[in-house]
Structure 1
Amino acid sequence: MTHVLGRRASDDGDTNPSAGRLATGHLGAYRARDGSPGAEVHVDLDGPHVGLVVGKRGYGKSYTLGVLAEELARAEGVAPIVADPMGIFASLADRGTEVVAAPRVSADALGPSAWCDLLGLDPADAVGALVWQAASARSTLDGMRSFVADADTKAVRATRRSADNHLALAESWGVFVPDGLAAGDLLGSAGGTVLDLSGLDTGPANAVVRAVASGLYDCCVRDRPPRLPWLLVDEAHGFFAGVAEPALRTALTRGRQPGLSLVAATQRPSALPPVAVSQADLVLAHRLTARADVDALAESRPTYLGGSFEERLPANPGEVLLVDDATESVHAVRIRERETDHGGVSPSATDR
């Protein structure tokens, strides 16, 4: 018998939670007390969700994210978009997922406030205000630099020079092009898209994720996209600590209503804002040992969890404690094996 998590029985028009005519993904199997596998466990892919996958290094956090991406790639009506800062999800191409190395976006995919955030400028001072105006008036980075160069003569030369230097820095990252990725491009691929950010520094990688996350949200609000987007973000603490944070926060707090799902994976849940934990309706917790990380989850977990959260965490790689807020239940699950190669395995000196 198959059990579907993340979905109330009434959502399927059936009183049997194991029955299902809507999209699901095979996650793994229940883990018995003796460690043996039990009934298959599937996760709901039909409705939008906010998911959180956590675990210390080496216990399967990114592996689990890859399993979810595999299931989304084969499901109808959804499109996974994986933000891959470590370059470990390229094997998903074997399942029809498009892999985009060093993805690029258009300059106008970021709003004026995002440009100030990206360049570390205060929009209230002269340089920040000039960049804000340039981003409001022009759709390309070249156009923004031209706007700055031709700014009103009341803008002192030092202000124009400083603004142009900041924009030149952004140009040097090589991630802004007039025909960059758009939300429509990402939602048109049945197998989804991996955004390989491994060749980018923190600033430009955050710029891409912010543009993609805000673009997907706007598309869901404005249009009726052919597929519901699932944004999967690995090493999410690095993006919540950067300029991508406002767009990810919007996806967390307002994304489900228009149909945008977000799944954040991190080995440092304590580095995420509390809203990332409290908004998650699916939490998949691998082994954690750092007190701050355990406490970050425990403080936001619902009363139905029961007992000590720390004592219920699994001890072995590949095992998760799955908290399902839809059914207000907690499950011990062993994640199934990947069908594509997992690029997150650490190298071994012996193998070399």
Structure 2
Amino acid sequence: MHVLGAPAGDLRGPVGHLGAYRARDGSLGEEVGLDLGGPHAALVVGKRGAGKTYTLGVLCEELARVDAIAPVVVDPMGAFRTLADAPGDVPASVVDPSVRADALDPRSWCDLLGLDPTGATGALVWRAATECDTFAGMHEFVANARADGDTRRAAANHLALAASWGVFDADAPDLFGPEVTVLDCSGLDRAPMNAVCRAVADDCYRARVEGSTDRHPWLVVDEAHAFFDGLAAPALRRLLTRGRGPGVSLAAATQRPSALPAVAVSQADLLVSHRLTGRADLAALRDARPTYVDESLASRMPERPGDALVVDDATEGLHAIRVRERVTGHGGASPRISGE
């Protein structure tokens, strides 16, 4: 088996089965694995229906088999719920997306609620987030604050809006167990979904820096373009640029690589490209192309769903593969009207 993500002769940890090499005639060759012994920044791209969510599902199945890894999935479309139906060697659970109020810093609270932190209402929410570690405590702080009535009412109304999202809970789930934790965000709007992603990304980084978990978190984010231009963006950027040191990995997928910041593509040590046809998206890959990948990247785009080109920075190579079949069902497929 050829292993991606690890320099030749430097494989010192578990390996996940990703797929097999694909010849130009479509036949399959040697099996291809993925190094899971160290942290990675992986980006999976492809047009709709090309297989990027499926590939993330394969990755999650392999991550679940490694006890030293804590996989967490931010699932904006409900496509990963089928992981909970996995056999015993792929433990997974689907949970409601909930986070602690103190998982967001004061500035994030103001950004989330669209408040100017230098204004009266924003400053009051900032103080509440600074002084309180629960959502109920923030409400009480605002109600009893020494501020004029209009400011208290405005702050209370903004917090009431956040309460209506139903994602702030003192009993947020443990993210660092041995199973895949799927945060099903399919029922959330953009703002609360970004709040969940921001809090989870910060938790993963903080837990490793502070030493509160021995497991290595892997944050898996589908539809990443919805987060890299929202509240979650700073936390995701930090995982890309600083996650390697504490041992935090990020695997993100998008059908719009052109909508991601340049750092999301340039910092990826593993780039898995399913079929892309958009000019802007192909240009985004071309502009971030490492020197060891020639101009033929666009001309070698895969044709079939499940086929992919992998740019592996560890081996400085370009690999044509076919992703293996999943053990669990694929929740990201589109329903079809029957011939009847």
- Is residue 298 from structure 1 mapped to residue 286 from structure 2 by the alignment? yes
Identity of paired residues, percent?
62
Q: AA paired with 1:60? A: G
1:224 shift after superposition: 5.7
TM-score normalised by L of structure 2? 0.96
Deviations 1:64-90 (A, max 9, x none): 000011111112311211111111111
Q: Where does residue 104 of structure 2 map in the other structure?
A: 110
Note closer, same or farther for the CA distance 1:302–1:327 as it changes in structure 2 (3 Å cut).
same
Q: AA paired with 1:8? A: P
Q: Where does residue 186 of structure 1 map in the other structure?
A: 175
Q: Where does residue 3 of structure 1 map in the other structure?
A: 2
Q: Where does residue 71 of structure 2 map in the other structure?
A: 80
Contact 1:89 1:343 in 2 (8 A): yes
Q: Out of 155, 159, 177, which is 1:163 matched to? A: 155
Q: Where does residue 30 of structure 1 map in the other structure?
A: 21
- Of stretches 333-342 and 141-150 in structure 1, the one that deviates more from structure 2 is 141-150
Contact 2:64 2:92 in 1 (8 A): no
Q: AA paired with 2:237? A: R
Q: Where does residue 48 of structure 1 map in the other structure?
A: 39
Deviations 1:289-326 (A, max 9, x none): 11111111110110100123211221111110100001
Q: AA paired with 2:3? A: V
Q: AA paired with 2:83? A: L
1:10 shift after superposition: 3.9
Alignment root-mean-square deviation, CA: 1.3
Contact 1:83 1:197 in 2 (8 A): yes
Trace 1:163-312 onto structure 2 (pairs within 5 A): 163-181=155-173, 185-188=174-177, 190-223=178-211, 225-312=213-300
1:351 shift after superposition: 6.5
- Of stretches 309-318 and 66-75 in structure 1, the one that deviates more from structure 2 is 309-318
Aligned length: 337
Contact 1:97 1:194 in 2 (8 A): no
- Is residue 128 from structure 1 mapped to residue 122 from structure 2 by the alignment? yes
Deviations 1:128-159 (A, max 9, x none): 1111011000111121121112112xx32211
Q: AA paired with 2:91? A: T
1:203 shift after superposition: 1.3
Structure 1: runs of 5+ lacking an equivalent:
13-20
Distance, in Å, in 1 between the alignment partners of 2:181 and 2:241 is 23
Contact 2:95 2:181 in 1 (8 A): no
Deviations 1:15-54 (A, max 9, x none): xxxxxx5201000000111110010000111100000000
**What secondary structure sits across from 1:308 in the alignment?**
helix
- Is residue 91 from structure 1 mapped to residue 90 from structure 2 by the alignment? no
Note closer, same or farther for the CA distance 1:160–1:65 as it changes in structure 2 (3 Å cut).
same
Q: Out of 135, 147, 150, which is 2:144 matched to? A: 150
TM-score normalised by L of structure 1? 0.93
